Structure 1
Amino acid sequence: MLDARKLTFGFHSQVPLLAQLSLQLERGEWLGLSGDSGAGKSTLGKLLAGLLPPQQGEIYADGKPLPTYGLRPVQWLPQSPELAVNPRWRVKKLLSEAWCPSESLMQDFGIQPDWLSRFPSALSGGELQRVCVLRALAPGVRYLIADEISTMLDPITQVELWQAVRKVADRHQLGVLVISHDTALLARLCTQRLHLVQGTLAPLTTLEAQ
């Protein structure tokens, strides 16, 4: 289980962006997270992946604190893949930095062999996002924080990307937190949905009923 306990975080403000927030994500679970722009969804994702330190609270992955170096069991994927890569590295090096996925797995993600010799700038946003998602699925990763990863993709590419992620996640029992403004997407992908508002979480179904 990815277990976040009473997290508090703010950016130089008297009012914290997140206040005493707790969240649990089980292995094999798909959990949806929505919220207004600026509510702190991406900040929460970065906290869960160990990219930001909480001002208060604790985060455990499978009963252990998140490691401070090496491959983390929780990986955060941003909406803009170009922010997650070294623009001077070719795709082959970007992948091998984390692991060496099989040819069949690259095919599942629609990654063409000739992409491996290209720089990130030579790929479209959708192509680079496929590379970044595959790179994040290295052995040892147990939880994936997918932060609006399909927002800028066309509908066909969205479906193909999520099908590939689902295949790997089901095979390895990964816990997936899907962050999106698209509540219809969350309804299709996730068995449980939460909404982030004023620094706390509420079940999305409860809000929809109001």
Structure 2
Amino acid sequence: MLEANGVTVSFGRHRVLDAVMLSVAPGEVLGLAGPSGCGKSTLARVLALLLRPSAGTVTVDGQAATRWRHRAPQRTSIGLIFQQPRLAVDPLFTLHDVITEPLRANRRPLERARVLAEELGLTAELFGRRPHEVSDGQLQRACVARALALEPRYLICDEMTTMLDASTQAHLVARIEAYRERTGAGVLAISHDTELLDRWARGNVRTWSPHPQPARRAG
């Protein structure tokens, strides 16, 4: 289980998260809804072990995280897909570089990159293109492939479909659902689109208050 236990995050005097309690079970899709600016993305970064909280702990399958970012041994167990793919990749990378980045960093075989690219609808001719040479949808497909490259046990989708057309949204959600069903991974789907979350999480949606406080289950 991926758990936030009393997680608090402050930037200077501004408290973004206050004693948040949240858990994602293996095989579960948990939807997290709330307006922009209420701390959802900050929570996503904490759960992905990219941001150290001011207080509280993150636990991955019963083991509390003590290190963060690349020093965290549990980091590869969690995949994170960002809302804006162009801010999440090196602009000098090709799509092939984007997908293989975690494989190279962890000394894994690179062949998996082409399999993932095909599953996500990326043709071979796109592999050599850089972010400015592809559409938002194509770049986000590469980012989803990157997030799945190490077969994480938990996947955090932070507004990943916001900038995409309906067909691309449906395709990416379907691919993540296929991955979840195959591997038993837990998924945290974050969005302000409650209709999408209701369909994706099958009603297992929590609402997030604009004011820092623990998430609560929607009634």
**TM-score when normalising by structure 2:** 0.87
- 3-state SS of 1:118 partner: coil
Per-residue CA shift, 1:72-103, capped at 9, x if unaligned?
31222111001111111111122122233264
In the alignment, structure 2 segments of 5+ residues that lack a partner are 104-109
Q: Specify the alignment match of 1:60 in structure 2.
A: 59
How well do the aligned residues superpose, as a CA RMSD in angstroms? 1.6
* Structure 1 residues 96-175: aligned runs within 5 Å: 96-99=100-103, 100=110, 101=112, 103-175=114-186
In the alignment, structure 1 segments of 5+ residues that lack a partner are none
CA distance, structure 2, for counterparts of residue 43 and residue 140 of structure 1: 23
- 3-state SS of 1:38 partner: coil
Question: C-alpha displacement at 1:104, in angstroms?
Answer: 4.2
Q: Residue 78 of structure 1 aligns to which amino acid in structure 2? A: F
CA distance, structure 2, for counterparts of residue 103 and residue 50 of structure 1: 27
- 3-state SS of 1:27 partner: coil
Q: Residue 88 of structure 1 aligns to which amino acid in structure 2? A: L
* Structure 1 residues 25-104: aligned runs within 5 Å: 25-66=24-65, 68=68, 69=70, 71-99=75-103, 100=110, 101=112, 103-104=114-115
Q: Specify the alignment match of 1:5 in structure 2.
A: 5
Question: C-alpha displacement at 1:159, in angstroms?
Answer: 0.8
Equivalent residues of 1:28, 1:170 under 8 A apart: yes
CA distance, structure 1, for counterparts of residue 151 and residue 117 of structure 2: 18
For residue 205 of structure 2, the aligned residue among 169, 180, 193 is 193
- 3-state SS of 2:127 partner: helix
Per-residue CA shift, 1:137-176, capped at 9, x if unaligned?
1235111110111111111111111111111121111111
Percent of aligned pairs with the same residue?
Answer: 37
Q: Residue 196 of structure 1 aligns to which amino acid in structure 2? A: W
Equivalent residues of 1:90, 1:119 under 8 A apart: yes
CA distance, structure 2, for counterparts of residue 159 and residue 142 of structure 1: 22
Q: Residue 101 of structure 2 aligns to which amino acid in structure 1? A: E
CA distance, structure 2, for counterparts of residue 189 and residue 60 of structure 1: 25
Q: Specify the alignment match of 2:216 in structure 1.
A: 202
Equivalent residues of 1:33, 1:178 under 8 A apart: yes
CA distance, structure 1, for counterparts of residue 43 and residue 132 of structure 2: 29
CA distance, structure 1, for counterparts of residue 113 and residue 51 of structure 2: 32
- 3-state SS of 2:99 partner: helix
When residues 140 and 153 of structure 1 are mapped into structure 2, their CA distance, relative to the original with a 3 A threshold, is: closer
Q: Specify the alignment match of 2:106 in structure 1.
A: none
CA distance, structure 2, for counterparts of residue 161 and residue 140 of structure 1: 16
CA distance, structure 2, for counterparts of residue 189 and residue 18 of structure 1: 25
When residues 81 and 102 of structure 1 are mapped into structure 2, their CA distance, relative to the original with a 3 A threshold, is: closer
